[in-house]
Chains A and B, each alone.
Chain A
Amino acid sequence: MSASRFKIASLIACIAVGAVVLSQVCWAGLANRFIQKTAFKGKHDILISFAAPVDKDWALNKANFRVYEEPDPDIKLPISKISLGPDNKSLILHFDEELNQSQPHVVVIKNIRSRGKNLGTAMVKAKKLYLGFLFSIFIGAMLIHNFVFTKYLGLCVFFGTSQKRSTAVGMGVTFTIVMVASAMMSWFLYQFVLKPFHLDYLQIIVFIGLVSLSVQAVDTILRKVNPILFKAFGVYLVLVIANCIILAVPLILADNEYNAAESFMLALGAGLGFLVALFLMSSVRERLELANVPPTYRGLPIAFVVAGLFALAFLGFSGMSIF
C-alpha cells in the first residue's frame, strides 16, 4: 500500500520538477530564440540578427550589450558604435580593437525590447566555424602557402623526381602518406614528451629521427603486406627523408601549437600540395623534352625558370583568406 503511494508521490514530484525545468528552459529560450544569428563580420564587427524588428532607442543603447571572450568573462570589450539595419532586424556592434576571432565571443543582450515588449535577457555566442578553420588550414598548406612554390622547400626532390608524370605521382602519393604518419607521431611526441619535460631544444634531433624511423616502418610494412605496391613506390621512400618539407611540417606544428585535427589537416595539405606541384611540373617537363631549348639551358636550368613562372602564378594566391 505504502509502496504504491510512494510511487505515485514520486511520479507527481517528477512531473512537477520536469514542468518547472521545462518552463525555465522555455522562458530562457524565448529571448535566445529571438536571436537568429550571431557572427563575426570583418575584423572589427559582430553581427546580430533578430527574428522581428527591435525598438530603436533600446538597440542603440550601449549599456544593453556586454561582449567578452569566452575564457575571460571579466574583461569586457568596449563597443565603439552600434548601427541598426534598415528593417530594424539586424544590428552591428563595432569595436575599435581587432577581435581575436580564434576565441568564441559571448554577447549578453539585456532586456530585449521588440514592439514595446520586454523579451528578457539573452546570451549568445559568436564563433568561427571550426570546420571552416580546419579547411582553411588545409587549403592554406596546399595552395596559398604551397611549400614548394611559396616557401621554397623540398626543391631537391622536387627537381629530381619531376621528369616523368608517373614518377611524379608515385613520389607525391608516397610522400603524402609518410608525411601524415610522421607529422602525427611528431605532434604526439612533442605535446606529450618534449613539452612536459622541457626538452624543446631536442626538436630537430627527435623529429629527424622520427622521420627516418617512420620511413623505415612504412618500408618494412609495405614490403610484407603489399609487395606489388612496394615495387611501385618503394624507390621513393628513401627520397622522402631527403625532403625538407617532411621536417618543416613538424617544426611548424610545434611552433604554432596546433592540436591533433589541425596537425592532420596541415600535414595532409602539405603532402597534397607537394603532389600538385610535382604533377604540374612534370606535365610541363614532359613537353619541354620535345621543345628546342638552347644547349646551355637544357635540363635543370630551364626547369628552374619554369618553376619560377609557376611560383609567380602561385603568388596570385597570396593574401587570400578563406573563412
Chain B
Amino acid sequence: MLNGLLNENPIFRLALSMCPAVGISTTVRNGLMLGVAVLFVQVCSSCTIAAIKNYIHPRIRIPTYTLTIATWVTVIDLVLSAYFPVAYKAMGIFIKLIVAFAIITMRLEVFACKNTVGKSFWDGFGMGLGFLFGMVTLGFIRELLGMGTLMGHNVLGFKPLLFFALPLAGFFCVGFMMAVFNYVELVFNRMKKKRG
C-alpha cells in the first residue's frame, strides 16, 4: 500500500495522470475533491476487475477495463453533481475525464487482473492515496504561495507569489516537485552507498 504513496507516486514518480495535477490543483479543496473521486474509482474498479478476472477473455481485457472504469466514473460524476454542485462546477470536465487517466488502467492491467479482491483493494487504495497525496501537496503549495490561504482560511495575510494561483503555474509546480523527489532519491541512494 505504501508503494503508491512514495516510491511509485503516480504524479511525481510515474508521471501519469498529470492533466488534473496541472489543471485544477490550484487550491487544497479542489485537489482533495478530485483525489477522493479518483481514489473511489480506483478502488471500485480494482475490486470489480479482481472479482471478474476469470471471466474476461484476454483479448478484450482493455475494453473491459475501460468500460468498468467508465461505469464507476459515471457513478461518481452523478453523485458529485447532485451533492456538491459548486465543487463539481469548479472541476469542470475533469471528473468525467477520470476515465482516461492512465494510472487506473495501469493498475488494473498490472495488479488487479492477477490478484485477489482483498489485495487489489489495498493496492488500489494505496495508489489512490498516492494520487490524493500528490494533489493535496500541489494544492497546498499553490494555494499558500498564490493566495496566502489554506482551505479558504487566511493563513499568511498576504499574497507572496500571485503567479502560483494561475492555472498554468501547475506546470512549474509539478516540475519542481518532481525535481525534489529526484533529489531526495539521489541523497537517499548516496547515503545507502556510504553505509553499504
Contacts and interface: CB of A to CB of B under 8 A. Distances in A.
Contact of B96 (A149, A150, A151, A251): A251
A305 B23 CA distance: 15
A305 B172 contact: yes
A312 interface: yes
Contacts of A156: 15-19, 102
Interface residues of B, number: 42
B67 interface: yes
A153 interface: yes
Contact of B70 (A149, A208, A296): A208
3 tightest A-B contacts by CB? A308-B171, A304-B175, A152-B23
A201 B73 CA distance: 11
B99 interface: yes
A243 interface: yes
B71 interface: yes
A304 B172 contact: yes
Interface stretch (B42-50, B151-159, B162-170): B162-170
> Do most interface residues of chain A lie in helix, strand or loop, or is the interface mixed?
helix
B77 A212 contact: no
A220 B191 CA distance: 52
B183 A296 contact: yes
Contact of B18 (A159, A204, A212, A248): A159
Contacts of B18: 155-156, 159
Contacts of A151: 23
Contacts of A252: 93
Interface of B: 15-20, 22-23, 62-63, 66-67, 70-71, 73-74, 77-78, 93, 96-97, 99-102, 105, 166-172, 174-176, 178-180, 182-183, 186
B19 A153 contact: yes
B181 to A, nearest CB: 9
Interface string A238-251: 00011110111001
Contacts of B171: 304-305, 307-308, 311
Contacts of A312: 168
What size tier do the contact residues of chain A reach? 35 or more
A188 interface: no
B70 A242 contact: no
Given A208-B70, A241-B62, 20 more contacts: A152-B170, A154-B19, A155-B22, A156-B17, A156-B102, A202-B74, A203-B96, A204-B73, A204-B77, A205-B70, A209-B70, A241-B66, A247-B97, A251-B93, A300-B15, A301-B178, A304-B172, A304-B174, A305-B172, A308-B168
A152 B19 contact: yes
A159 B62 CA distance: 22
A297 B175 CA distance: 8
A196 interface: no
A302 interface: yes
Interface string A278-311: 0000000000000000011100111111011001
> Do most interface residues of chain B lie in helix, strand or loop, or is the interface mixed?
helix
22 contacts: A151-B23, A152-B20, A152-B22, A156-B18, A202-B74, A204-B70, A205-B67, A208-B100, A209-B70, A212-B66, A242-B102, A244-B100, A246-B100, A296-B183, A296-B186, A297-B175, A301-B175, A301-B176, A301-B179, A304-B171, A305-B176, A308-B170
Nearest to B81: A201
Interface of A: 149-156, 159, 201-205, 208-209, 212, 241-244, 246-248, 251-252, 295-297, 300-305, 307-308, 311-312, 315
A301 B15 CA distance: 10
Centre residue among A152, A202, A312 by max chain B CB count within 10 A: A152
B17 to A, nearest CB: 7
A315 B171 CA distance: 13
A304 to B, nearest CB: 3
Nearest to A206: B70
A4 to B, nearest CB: 75
A3 B77 CA distance: 78
A205 B175 contact: no
A246 B105 CA distance: 16
Given A247-B99, A308-B171, A308-B175, A153 B23 contact: yes
